[in-house]
Homo-oligomer: A and B are copies of this chain.
Amino acid sequence: MRALGASKVSLSSISSEVLWRASGRLESVGSELFRVKDRNEANLLLSPTHEEEITTLVASLIKSYRDLPLRLYQVSRKYRDERRPRQGLLRAKEFVMKDLYTFDTTEHWARVTYTEVQAAYKAFFDELGIPYLVAEADSGAMGGNLSHEYHFESQQGEDKIMCCDSCNYVANEEVARRRPGAEASTESLAALRVWLGVSKDRKTFVAAWFPGTDGGGSASKDEVNLHALKAAEPTLDTAVEDPSRLWREFTKPRKIIHLLDPRLRLPQGESRLLETSNGASGLVKSLRASLTSNSTRTTPLEVSSIRTGDACPMCNEGSLLVRQVVEVGHTFHLGHRYSKPLSARYKNEANANTDCEMGCHGIGVSRLVGAVAGIMADDKGLNWPPGIAPFEVVVVRGKENAEDAEKLYDGIIGSAHTPALDVVLDDRDRTIAYKLKDADQIGYPVIVVLGKTWAGKRKKAEIQCRRLGVIELIGEDEVAERVAECLRRLKSSVSS
């Protein structure tokens, strides 16, 4: 954040419904907001993010183009009334975020800012040394490639991203596409699948059609791209367990919207679709009848979930690979999304009032800690990358080496080989075995032991680095140098 020239702020975590109503988000995010009332019945909320607060603050501070650009960040608690809090720090109702908000004069400068923020985020993830993926994400109203997510691959992850095995195409579930030309085979058309959904008011049904790969009939939630369906039909309620029951019970004329997979280019028109029907249940038959008789069908869209093996939309050779990931960061160009409704304006050089161009960029601090813990741990304990380890080195000593350990500790801290290093000395009154087990569990990147090999005239410290498989006896004078080398190797070994 310093490299970006961003200033640190600390905004109230209690916000007001008034602001969220002004931005229009009270309704859209509403169900995940923690609402609070104070003793005067004021309608407050615990902020899950601070666009409304920061935009209002900046609106009150800036006057002229000379006051811009502004880059403001904070590291603070955020709150979300999660439907499914789980996996400890990965998805909790209270979490820590680093959020950066950027304010620029024009879209040109906002894009420059965006590029700089991306570079800073990549530098941070590079320093962590854990492989990460940068995926195209939904950029909402703005269009263009101006929203990216930063992911760690992890079996704990609840998100999916699609990566090409040939080119550098990476996109999240919401925006990923198949190669448009790739049509389904006649065989898969025969096995046409359908997923039925219903709107929040239970009055409109949505039927999503796509080529089947393993038999026809009605499809499950996992098989359809709910993001795409919701984008096409925002009233869709994806939480309903059994819409087909509602469909059957519905007596009045049913309104139905058909959403078609782009691969469904039917060779002989729509009627053929009905004739190829096979293995379909009564429900599917009834829906197919509706498909031909109903005219509210929308343009084709990516109805079914992308699967490993689908064709890449960016290159001719590649096929997509679906990866399970944890999202740990997001960069987002917002344009006037908040500056317009919340009046964050400046006077430009021609003295005309102009809306700020905004961006918001976040790193999920507590989630990142949880994800790194999960990814790096082995059966002996945690394994913190030097970049985020609270202490890069622990010095473990036996009772008899108390004085020498302090000297060695001071030596590592004062050495030119290891400048600005955080080192901790385990001077507890416990056995070396106990302390070493503890050190492994805690996950210090490097352990320096003053035990038996230090006794008498030997004076050899043992350097341990579990991840590199290093266990070496080193003379007093070379400890700092060897520690520095381990830390260097730790970074390059993992990120490569």
Which single member of B46, B83, B96, B429 contacts A36 (CB below 8 Å)?
Answer: B46
Judged by a CB distance under 8 angstroms, whether A14 is at the interface is yes
* CB neighbors of B among A1-38 (8 A): 10, 12-14, 31, 34-36, 38
Q: Map CB proximity to B onto A226-259 as digits: 1 under 8 Å, 0 otherwise.
A: 0000000000000000000000000000000000
* A94 to B53 Cα, complex, angstroms: 15
Task: Evaluate contact between B94 and A38: CB separation under 8 angstroms.
Answer: no
B contact residues around A36 at 8 Å (CB): 34-36, 46
Minimal beta-carbon separation of A349 from chain B (angstroms) = 14
Judged by a CB distance under 8 angstroms, whether A39 is at the interface is yes
Task: Evaluate contact between B39 and A94: CB separation under 8 angstroms.
Answer: no
B contact residues around A459 at 8 Å (CB): none
Given A34-B36, A36-B36, do A13 and B94 touch, yes or no (CB 8 Å)? yes
* A12 to B96 Cα, complex, angstroms: 10
Judged by a CB distance under 8 angstroms, whether A79 is at the interface is yes
B contact residues around A34 at 8 Å (CB): 36, 38
* A83 to B40 Cα, complex, angstroms: 9
B contact residues around A94 at 8 Å (CB): 12-14
- State the number of copies, please: 2
Given A12-B94, A13-B94, do A81 and B46 touch, yes or no (CB 8 Å)? no
* CB neighbors of B among A155-204 (8 A): none
Q: Map CB proximity to B onto A362-394 as digits: 1 under 8 Å, 0 otherwise.
A: 000000000000000000000000000000000
* A14 to B94 Cα, complex, angstroms: 7
Task: Evaluate contact between A79 and B39: CB separation under 8 angstroms.
Answer: no
Task: Evaluate contact between B13 and A93: CB separation under 8 angstroms.
Answer: no
* A58 to B94 Cα, complex, angstroms: 21
Task: Evaluate contact between B39 and A77: CB separation under 8 angstroms.
Answer: no
Instruction: List A residues at the B interface (Cβ < 8 Å).
Output: 10, 12-14, 31, 34-36, 38-39, 46, 66, 77, 79, 81, 83, 93-94, 96, 429
* A187 to B35 Cα, complex, angstroms: 59
List 7 interface pairs A-B (beta carbons < 8 Å), by A numbering.
Answer: A10-B96, A12-B94, A13-B13, A13-B94, A14-B94, A66-B429, A77-B77
* A31 to B38 Cα, complex, angstroms: 10
B contact residues around A14 at 8 Å (CB): 79, 93-94
Which partner residue on chain B sits nearest A46 by CB separation? B36
Which single member of B38, B93, B96 contacts A93 (CB below 8 Å)?
Answer: B38
B contact residues around A96 at 8 Å (CB): 10
Task: Evaluate contact between B13 and A83: CB separation under 8 angstroms.
Answer: no
B contact residues around A31 at 8 Å (CB): 39
Minimal beta-carbon separation of A87 from chain B (angstroms) = 16
Closest 10 CB pairs of A and B: A14-B94, A39-B81, A38-B81, A12-B94, A34-B36, A36-B36, A13-B77, A13-B94, A14-B93, A77-B77
* A81 to B44 Cα, complex, angstroms: 12
* A39 to B34 Cα, complex, angstroms: 9
Known: A12-B94, A13-B94, A31-B39. 15 other contacts (CB 8 A): A10-B96, A13-B13, A13-B77, A14-B79, A14-B93, A14-B94, A34-B36, A34-B38, A36-B36, A36-B46, A38-B81, A38-B93, A39-B81, A39-B83, A66-B429
Minimal beta-carbon separation of A382 from chain B (angstroms) = 17
Minimal beta-carbon separation of A235 from chain B (angstroms) = 21
B contact residues around A35 at 8 Å (CB): 36
B contact residues around A39 at 8 Å (CB): 31, 81, 83
Minimal beta-carbon separation of A181 from chain B (angstroms) = 45
* A79 to B13 Cα, complex, angstroms: 10
Which partner residue on chain B sits nearest A76 by CB separation? B77
Minimal beta-carbon separation of A204 from chain B (angstroms) = 25
Minimal beta-carbon separation of A364 from chain B (angstroms) = 15
B contact residues around A79 at 8 Å (CB): 14
Minimal beta-carbon separation of A279 from chain B (angstroms) = 40
* A79 to B77 Cα, complex, angstroms: 13
B contact residues around A429 at 8 Å (CB): 66
* A77 to B12 Cα, complex, angstroms: 9
B contact residues around A13 at 8 Å (CB): 13, 77, 94
* A13 to B46 Cα, complex, angstroms: 11
B contact residues around A12 at 8 Å (CB): 94
* A31 to B34 Cα, complex, angstroms: 20
* A81 to B39 Cα, complex, angstroms: 7
* A81 to B38 Cα, complex, angstroms: 6
* A39 to B38 Cα, complex, angstroms: 19
Minimal beta-carbon separation of A101 from chain B (angstroms) = 19
* A429 to B83 Cα, complex, angstroms: 50
B contact residues around A77 at 8 Å (CB): 13, 77
